[in-house]
């Protein structure tokens, strides 16, 4: 009788444990749902053109603004602000990641980063007149905060999802993000395109769209903060000093050198993801300058990417269950290469063909990112999630300057955006070769983690 009672109790505890894990997973999805609106509406669509127009209105006759007395061409302000935010994020990410792992308290740090970014984004409502410097500062703060928060968000994945379900959970997180990005962008575009009927100016409509992304970010961050829980860590807590974070970063890099297979995967990801990010950031320039497409066409293409990225993330997650995440990512890199080849030959002023290309990008975009994240999570030693994901996020955001540099140099040397876009093939080809050489099962075992049946 006692054995039967013990078995019943054990099953009940397991059921409660599964229910708690599912609850955490659903809460985790909602941070992507919260912050992806910033990436879509603010960074991709509205802020760049709007901040540039403010800077140009404040520029001198030679086209320069002078923040802190430094001459900056007005058209370059947005790019420089993004670069500055990357530098700030690179400084902060390893410090925050190390502190989170040592203290075992990711949630307060996630809240601080998320609400700092949300507040900075909501503050963009006040960008009018000649306030280009305020816009640049708010962009730097919001972008760096997003990067820091993603380190902490990603570090929860190995704790809330077992090895066999991690691809699915990661893919659903990306799908939630793309769903919110597309939905809010539709509402923003309704306001922007019909601003006269709503009784507001075009400038006011843009500022409302920017601020609404910050409000959305802050409001839906409440869900993961309520459902995620911190885990206790063994050993002494960090001393809280900045120097301790950098010392931990050095220790993390040394630790990764002792796990060369994890480091090899990170190198492959750094290269092919740089290609992905460059295609995303430069596609609008290619569409407008080389293909002669108008702004409405480009915005519809962005929406198409967002919508299809949801299906792509979920679909590739299912493919990974059958063929393994590594093979699925390799297949997506082959598709990316084909996309660039088709883009090179795409005729000008054919929006329908451009939409087809945008659809192909959306189909592989979410899945390649989601499965890369879940693959890396298997190779992270237990208890060092935030440290390792700070390195992952640095490769994702902190080192994403090489692709744009290659794109820019190719255009400068050839004068052709077609040559510039095809030059990015090298990132996908090199990333494919490097990833194919990584024995992921051995990398997972070397990190001391259980090896899934398919990976």
Burial (CB count <10 Å: 0-12, 13-18, 19+), residue 126: middle
* pLDDT tens-digit series, residues 58-80: 888 888 888 888 887 777 777 77
pLDDT at 385: 77
Query: Which SS3 state, helix, strand or coil, does residue 83 take?
Result: helix
* CA torsion, ordered 180, 184, 185, 186, to nearest 10 deg: 110
Dihedral-angle region of residue 196 (phi above 0 means left; psi in -120 to 50 means alpha; beta otherwise): alpha
Q: Look at residue 15 and tell me whether its pLDDT is greater than 70.
A: no
Q: How confident is the model over 158-183, as a mean pLDDT?
A: 85
pLDDT at 240: 47
**Residue 193 CA neighbour count, 13 Å, CB half:** 10
Contact 26, 227 (CB under 8 A): yes
Contact 391, 256 (CB under 8 A): yes
Percent of the chain at pLDDT above 70? 90
Instruction: Give the residue among 378, 355, 368, 363 at the shortest CA–CA distance from 454.
Output: 378
As a whole number of Å, the CA-based R_g of the chain is 22
C-alpha 37, offset from chain centre:
11
pTM for the model stands at 0.75
Instruction: Give the residue among 92, 76, 12, 2 at the shortest CA–CA distance from 397.
Output: 92
72: β partners: 65
Alpha-carbon distance 337 to 318, whole Å?
22
Contact 265, 455 (CB under 8 A): no
Between 67 and 400, residue with greater pLDDT = 67
* pLDDT tens-digit series, residues 238-293: 444 555 556 666 777 777 888 899 989 988 998 998 888 888 877 777 887 788 88
Instruction: Give the residue among 150, 156, 147 at the shortest CA–CA distance from 397.
Output: 147
Instruction: Give 237's pLDDT tier (boundaries 50, 70, 90).
Output: very low
Strands 72-73 and 64-65 turn out to be antiparallel
pLDDT at 12: 39
Instruction: Give 398's pLDDT tier (boundaries 50, 70, 90).
Output: low
pLDDT at 234: 53
Contact 357, 346 (CB under 8 A): yes
pLDDT at 382: 82
């Amino acid at each position: 009788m006692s054995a039967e009672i013990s078995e019943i109790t054990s099953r009940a505890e397991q059921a409660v444990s599964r229910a708690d894990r599912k609850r955490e997973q659903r809460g985790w999805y909602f941070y992507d749902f919260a912050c992806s609106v910033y990436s879509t509406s603010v960074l991709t669509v509205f802020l760049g053109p709007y901040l540039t127009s403010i800077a140009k209105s404040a520029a001198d006759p030679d086209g320069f603004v002078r923040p802190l007395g430094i001459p900056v061409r007005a058209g370059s302000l947005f790019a420089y602000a993004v670069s500055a935010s990357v530098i700030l994020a690179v400084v902060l990410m390893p410090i925050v990641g190390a502190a989170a792992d040592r203290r075992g308290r990711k949630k307060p740090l996630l809240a601080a980063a998320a609400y700092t970014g949300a507040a900075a984004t909501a503050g963009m409502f006040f960008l009018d007149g000649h306030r280009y410097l305020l816009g640049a500062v708010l962009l730097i703060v919001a972008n760096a905060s997003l990067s820091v928060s993603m380190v902490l968000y990603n570090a929860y994945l190995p704790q809330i999802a077992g090895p066999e379900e991690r691809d699915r959970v990661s893919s659903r997180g990306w799908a939630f993000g793309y769903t919110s990005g597309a939905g809010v962008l539709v509402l923003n575009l309704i306001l922007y395109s019909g601003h006269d009927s709503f009784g507001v100016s075009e400038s006011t409509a843009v500022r409302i769209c920017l601020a609404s992304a910050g409000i959305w970010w802050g409001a839906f961050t409440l869900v993961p903060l309520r459902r995620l829980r911190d885990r206790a860590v063994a050993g002494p807590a960090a001393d809280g000093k900045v120097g301790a974070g950098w010392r931990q970063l050095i220790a993390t890099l040394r630790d990764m050198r002792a796990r060369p297979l994890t480091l090899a995967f990170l190198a492959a990801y750094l290269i092919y993801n740089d290609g992905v990010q460059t295609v995303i950031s430069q596609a609008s320039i290619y569409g407008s300058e080389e293909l002669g497409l108008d702004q409405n066409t480009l915005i519809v293409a962005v929406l198409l990417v967002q919508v299809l990225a949801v299906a792509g993330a979920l679909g590739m997650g299912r493919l990974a269950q059958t063929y393994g995440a590594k093979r699925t990512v390799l297949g997506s890199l082959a598709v990316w290469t084909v996309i660039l080849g088709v883009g090179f030959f795409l005729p000008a002023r054919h929006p329908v063909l451009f939409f087809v290309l945008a659809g192909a990008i959306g189909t592989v975009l979410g899945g390649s990112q989601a499965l890369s994240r879940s693959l890396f999570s298997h190779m992270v030693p237990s208890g060092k999630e935030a440290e390792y994901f700070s390195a992952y996020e640095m490769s994702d955001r902190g080192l994403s300057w090489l692709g744009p540099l290659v794109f820019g140099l190719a255009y400068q040397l050839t004068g052709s955006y077609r040559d510039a876009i095809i030059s990015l093939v090298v990132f996908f080809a090199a990333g494919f070769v490097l990833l194919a050489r990584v024995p992921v099962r051995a990398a997972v075992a070397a990190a001391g983690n259980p090896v899934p049946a398919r990976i």
